[in-house]
Amino acid sequence: MRRRLLQGSALVAAACVTSLLATLAPTASAAPTPAPTPAAAPEQGAGHGSPPSLKRIGYFTQWGVYGRNFQVKDLDTSGTAARLTHLNYAFGNVDTSGKCFLTPQPGESDPWADYQRPLDAATSVDGTADTDTQTLAGNFNQIRELKAKHKNLKALISLGGWSWSTNFSDAALTPASRKALVTSCIDLYIKGNLPKDGVRGGDGSAAGVFDGIDIDWEWPGSAGDTDTVFRPEDKKNFTALVREFRTQLDAYGKQQRKHYELSAFVPTAEEKIDAGFEVRKIMKDFDFVNLQGYDFHVSGEKKTAQQSALFARDDFSVHGTVQSWLERGAPARKLVVGMPFYGQGWTGVTGGGNGLNKPATGPAPAQWAAGYADYKELKPLARSGAFKVHRDLLRGHAWLFDGTTLWTYDDPLVLTTKAAYVRARGLGGAMAWSLDGDTADGELMRALDRGLGR
């Protein structure tokens, strides 16, 4: 009965998306009209046969192998790897000299997780334990094994992130500094020339692991983390940096007879887009960009709110983000919609009702960080009876509320709705942050994959 109700609700949600496309966005750039009914993907997913037409991108967090104990192998056993087209590895860092680096520095670089840590047979994708003599171990070797098993899967190294965007502005400041940065990143991650540490690493030791580079500079031309440098000239320098990445990747790709992909994570706020991105210019060099589709509101705010609604009036939304990029000249086919595999939460909520847009005393308690909970942590709450699941099908979002604590999150039904939107608008696909938030059987990625169809 529960499965039938979910399927029926998904069809209602898809119909709502189709209706809203006509009523809320009649002047948007060219897109197909009605959303087709989401088709079930073959159970073996995108890892076998021909690749799907729409991208399925998931971020794998370097640090997730520790506390969360989320290993690369889990992508295989959950069925997620078979459904992905791209695996983005988060993150690579840029040092104060303006170059990509991989040396042991607490909080700044973790070569142990990346390529030195030996894994036993039970934790390895191919079921074989790492040895003391192999030059590549850790996550990088597991990604190599994962790609060998899933031939259509591509892996990109993602550079930066919220905490590690500190030195991008300085590194992008001059033609010489941009060239040095790009050369160092390609040498380290694309050519695979890792630092030698005992038997691990060495020239070419990680060759073939990564198929491209994802730039996650948060944010050129506007404030990001507290120590992240930004300046007005970041906007033109970002364009030049993207051009330098494209030029060097293409030059090396010509030697290897391969196209290396280039992407970026980009913001939702119009003021951040306009401060840091010459959209028409950069989109010529990017294969695609991943749109921020979450953190529209966060648990540090004084009132509860949606963090990832598909539609919203006078507020951030997925649709508003898509429109902002389209209006500035981005091709729809290169826009990939980011979707959260986690929730933002508040506690001490007062004011009654369904809890949304009400005062709160602070972030809600959670396993890993206050105010931030993986979907797999929230799913039991939704089934416990203590929390009520609230849905706004017209605006495409959901939240949990128990009278005191509220969590805003995406579940399979919300993701199905968003997948229908992606298809209806002729967009490039969906991206998930981050894969370690999903259930052990890959429930969220399965919903996305089926919703996007073939």
Residues annotated as part of the active site: 218
How many contiguous H segments (helices) and E segments (strands) does the chain have?
Answer: 13, 17
Across the strands, what pairs with 160?
Answer: 216
Q: Where would I find the beta strands (DSSP E) of 227-325?
A: 261-266, 288-291
How far apart (Å, rounded) are the C-alpha atoms in residues 289 and 184?
22
How far apart (Å, rounded) are the C-alpha atoms in residues 450 and 453?
5
How far apart (Å, rounded) are the C-alpha atoms in residues 374 and 435?
10
Assess contact for 215 and 264: CB atoms under 8 A: yes
Q: Is the peptide bond before 140 cis (omega within 30 degrees of 0)?
A: no
Q: Please report, for residues 102, 105, 130, 207, the alpha-carbon distance to residue 110 in angstroms, rounded to integers and kept in the order given.
A: 7, 7, 19, 19
How far apart (Å, rounded) are the C-alpha atoms in residues 389 and 400?
5
**Which residues have a Cβ under 8 Å from the Cβ of 4 and sit 6 or more positions away?**
none
How far apart (Å, rounded) are the C-alpha atoms in residues 113 and 315?
39
Q: Is 390 helix (H, G, I), strand (E, B) or coil?
A: strand
Backbone angles phi, psi at 55, to 5 degrees: -75, 140
How far apart (Å, rounded) are the C-alpha atoms in residues 264 and 290?
6
Q: Is 278 helix (H, G, I), strand (E, B) or coil?
A: coil
Long-range Cβ contact pairs of 226-234 (< 8 A, separation 24 or more): 227/166, 228/165, 228/166, 228/168, 228/169, 229/166, 229/167, 229/168, 229/169, 229/170, 230/169, 231/169, 232/275, 233/173, 234/169, 234/172, 234/275, 234/276
Quote the tokens at residue 175: 């033609």
